């Protein structure tokens, strides 16, 4: 598994060739690193599930480079007029950290969507990702490049920790600027449904679409809509708990992940500050890396700070609650 410079056109040419040959390539996006494969190849897509240890019931996101390619991967004729007009508005976020669930077209292999008739699509906002997709000439499935259930990778080094030679290469693109995965919204129903909150928030989407947006919270009432949103996810191996906590009988070696530089009210072995002053974009950008760092220290417990569940705070708490789920 070589690490190649993603800004070198020769790396892109090589990786694109390998993708067309059905191999797997890790590439950077603005959110997290993705494990890429040709979305039109059943065997390449099946290799993704095998390498990640991902349940075959959890569908993948298709990455394209141009809005004009949307009609290749999605069957837009099956969209209602209302959903089409929502799609028009949402396409203003592309390239960017927004994934839209639409009716699937035949070119996307059914296993990419876990057999569903729908397809999740986004245009990533990263030059290496866009160059790679363009040169490959095929849409790419790209789940986050982590073992299923573990914390998503925001640096190439995170992929090197687990990947094996079934991954052909990693395109280096530096740390991901956003740090949490894209917002996922479904346009299949009569009302848009937020399936996964991200940096583009539900509040912002309500303003863009000028309508109500349902939120399929993981433990809520709409679990069948996004099979991948099973509750436990993003989990470090070390037990994780979120404040407020009972401070009696805490174990000895505690790592504290905080959203500002104030010292905790309990004894800690290590204090990892994600943002000096509770800047939530900064917290999101460092969240997965912070969890990974603390997870490597052989601690008894990781305690995480919390924030109000509005705006980006909803997305940060979504990831943390899943990571802490027993």
* Among residues 111, 113, 118, 144, the one that binds Mg ion under rule CB under 5 A: 144
Q: What is the DSSP string of 65-85?
A: S-GGGHHHHB-GGGS-HHHHH
* Alpha-carbon dihedral sign for residues 21, 27, 33, 38: negative
Instruction: Say which entry of Mg ion, ligand TXA, none residue 216 contacts (CB below 5 to 8 A, set by partner kind).
Output: none
Please tell me the distance from the alpha carbon of residue 204 to that of residue 210, in angstroms, as a whole number. 10
| Helix or strand run (H / E) with residue 290 | helix 280-295
Report CA 113 to chain centroid distance, whole Å.
Answer: 16
Q: Is 266 left (phi over 0), alpha (psi -120 to 50) or beta?
A: beta
- Of 111 and 258, which CB lies nearer to Mg ion in the complex structure? 111
Nearest approach in angstroms of CB 41 to Mg ion is: 21
Q: Is 118 in the site for ligand TXA (CB under 6 A)?
A: yes
Contact range with Mg ion by CB under 5 A, out of 6-14, 110-118, 136-144, 262-270: 136-144
Contact range with Mg ion by CB under 5 A, out of 107-115, 143-151, 184-192, 271-279: 143-151
Q: Is 34 in the site for ligand TXA (CB under 6 A)?
A: yes
| Helix or strand run (H / E) with residue 215 | strand 214-215
Nearest approach in angstroms of CB 13 to ligand TXA is: 21
Q: What is the dihedral of CA 203, 204, 205, 209, to 10 degrees?
A: 110
Contact range with ligand TXA by CB under 6 A, out of 13-21, 37-45, 115-123, 290-298: 115-123
- Please report, as residue ranges, which positions from 189 to 218 form the binding site for ligand TXA (by CB under 6 A): 195-196
- C-alpha angle with apex 199: 100 to 28, nearest 5 degrees? 75
Nearest approach in angstroms of CB 227 to ligand TXA is: 6
83-116: b (≥16 Cβ within 10 Å) or e:
beebbeebeebbbbbbbbbbbbbeebbebbbbeb
The SS3 of residue 185 is strand
Q: Is 315 in the site for Mg ion (CB under 5 A)?
A: no
The answer to whether the beta carbons of residues 34 and 145 sit under 8 Å apart is yes
Q: Is 38 in the site for ligand TXA (CB under 6 A)?
A: no
Q: Is 121 in the site for ligand TXA (CB under 6 A)?
A: no
- Of 186 and 226, which CB lies nearer to Mg ion in the complex structure? 226
Please tell me the distance from the alpha carbon of residue 226 to that of residue 215, in angstroms, as a whole number. 11
* Among residues 12, 24, 26, 32, the one that binds ligand TXA under rule CB under 6 A: 32
Please tell me the distance from the alpha carbon of residue 294 to that of residue 254, in angstroms, as a whole number. 9
Instruction: Say which entry of Mg ion, ligand TXA, none residue 99 contacts (CB below 5 to 8 A, set by partner kind).
Output: ligand TXA
Q: Is 144 in the site for ligand TXA (CB under 6 A)?
A: yes
Nearest approach in angstroms of CB 203 to Mg ion is: 24
Nearest approach in angstroms of CB 14 to ligand TXA is: 20
- Please report, as residue ranges, which positions from 60 to 79 form the binding site for ligand TXA (by CB under 6 A): 60-61
Nearest approach in angstroms of CB 145 to Mg ion is: 9
Nearest approach in angstroms of CB 294 to Mg ion is: 20
Report CA 31 to chain centroid distance, whole Å.
Answer: 7
Given the rule CB under 6 A, which residues bind ligand TXA? Answer: 29, 31-32, 34, 58-61, 99, 101, 113, 116, 118-120, 124, 142-144, 181-182, 184, 195-196, 226-229
């Amino acid at each position: 598994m070589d690490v190649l410079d993603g800004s070198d056109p020769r790396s892109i040419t090589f990786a694109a060739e390998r993708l067309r040959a059905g191999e797997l390539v890790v590439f950077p996006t603005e959110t997290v690193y993705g494990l890429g494969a040709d979305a039109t190849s059943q065997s390449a897509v099946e290799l993704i599930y095998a390498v990640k240890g991902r349940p075959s019931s959890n569908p993948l996101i298709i990455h394209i480079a141009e809005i004009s390619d949307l009609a290749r991967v999605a069957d837009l004729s099956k969209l209602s007029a209302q959903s089409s007009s929502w799609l028009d508005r949402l396409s203003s976020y592309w390239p960017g950290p927004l994934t839209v669930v639409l009716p699937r077209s035949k070119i996307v292999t059914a296993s990419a969507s876990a057999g569903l008739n729908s397809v999740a699509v986004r245009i990533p906002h990263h030059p290496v990702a866009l160059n790679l997709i363009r040169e490959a000439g095929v849409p790419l499935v790209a789940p986050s490049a982590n073992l299923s259930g573990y914390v998503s990778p925001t640096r190439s080094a995170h992929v090197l920790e687990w990947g094996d030679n079934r991954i052909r290469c990693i395109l280096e693109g530096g740390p991901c600027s956003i740090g949490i995965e894209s917002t996922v919204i479904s346009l299949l129903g009569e009302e848009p449904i937020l399936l996964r909150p991200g940096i583009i928030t539900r509040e912002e989407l309500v303003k863009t679409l000028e309508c109500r947006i349902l939120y399929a919270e993981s433990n809520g009432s709409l679990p069948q809509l996004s099979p991948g949103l099973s509750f436990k996810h993003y989990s470090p191996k070390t037990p994780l708990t979120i404040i407020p906590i009972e401070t009696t009988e805490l174990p000895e070696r505690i790592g504290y992940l905080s959203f500002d530089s104030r010292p905790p009210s309990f004894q800690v072995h290590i204090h990892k500050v994600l943002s000096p002053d509770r800047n939530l974009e900064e917290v999101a950008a460092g969240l997965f890396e912070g969890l990974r760092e603390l997870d490597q220290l052989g601690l008894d417990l990781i305690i995480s700070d919390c924030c109000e569940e509005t705006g980006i705070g909803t997305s940060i708490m979504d990831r943390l609650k899943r990571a802490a789920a027993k």
